[in-house]
Amino acid sequence: MRLYVVIGALSITIIPSAYAQWAVYDGANHVQNVLIAARTLQQIDNQITSLANQAQMLVNQGRNLASMPLSTLSTLQSTISQTTALLAQAQNIAYSVQSVEQQYRQAYTSVSSGMPDSALFSQAQTRWQNSVGGFEDALKLQARVVGNIPSDSSAMNQLVSSSQTSTGALQAAQAGNQLLALQSRQLSDIQAELAANGRATALQQAREAATEAESEAQYQHFSQHDAYVPGTVSMFGSSGN
C-alpha cells in the first residue's frame, strides 16, 4: 500500500509539471520565426521578379535582333543594272574618255580647207548622226527613269510600313537602310539622266561649232579658185559679151 501511495504521489507531482511544460508558449520565438519566414518569402519574390525581368530582357533582345522579312535589294540592283545597260548602249560615242577623244578628234576637230568636199560631207553626216543618236539615248534614259517611279513608290510604301511596324531596333534600322538605298538609286537615275542630257547637248553644240569650222573651210576652199573672167559667147551666128 505504501508503495502504491508513493507512486500515486509521484504521479500527482510529475504529471502536472510535465503538462505545464507542454503548454508553455514562446511568443518571441514565434515572432522571430514569422519574421524569418517573411524575409525568406520576400527574397523568393525578389528572385522571381528578377527572373521575370531577365526573361523580358531576353525577349526584347530577341526582338531587337530579329531581321526584317522584307528586302528590296534585288529590285534595286535589277533597276541599276537596267540603267547601266542603257548607258552602255550609247550610240556612236560611248561614255568613255578614250572613245570621246578619238571620235571627237576625227569628226569635230579635223576640218581643214584642204579636205575634199566628199570628206567634209561625210564628217557632217557623222556629226548629225551623233547628235540624233545622243538625243535618242537621252529620251530612252528619261523613259527608263520615269518608268521606275511606280515601283519606287511601291517600295517606299512597303519600307515605311515595315519601319513603323518593326518589332525591334534591327528591323527599324534595316528599313531605314533600305530607304537610303532606294534614295541612292534614285539619285543614280538622276545623275544618269543629267549625263545623257548633257551628252546630247554637248554633241549638238560640238556639231554647231564644227559646222562653223566647215563653212569657213569651204569658203577658203572656194576662195582659192581664180576669179571669174567673162568671155565672148557666140549665139545665133553673132558674137557678143
Set of cell numbers at residue 12: 500527482
Q: Tell me, what amino acid is at 138?
A: A
Cβ atoms within 10 Å of 206's Cβ, excluding its own: 19
Q: Tens place of pLDDT for every residue, the chain, 241 residues?
A: 544 444 454 454 444 544 445 556 677 888 888 888 889 999 998 888 888 888 878 777 777 777 777 888 888 889 999 999 999 999 888 888 888 888 888 888 877 767 787 888 888 899 999 999 999 999 999 999 999 999 899 988 988 888 888 888 888 888 888 999 999 999 999 999 999 999 999 999 999 988 888 787 777 766 665 555 566 656 565 544 4
Instruction: Tell me which residue of 147, 233, 232, 228 sits closest to 189, measured CA to CA.
Output: 147
pTM over cut 0.85: no
Query: Cα separation of 40 and 192, whole Å?
Result: 73
Q: Which residues is 239 bridged to in the sheet?
A: 234
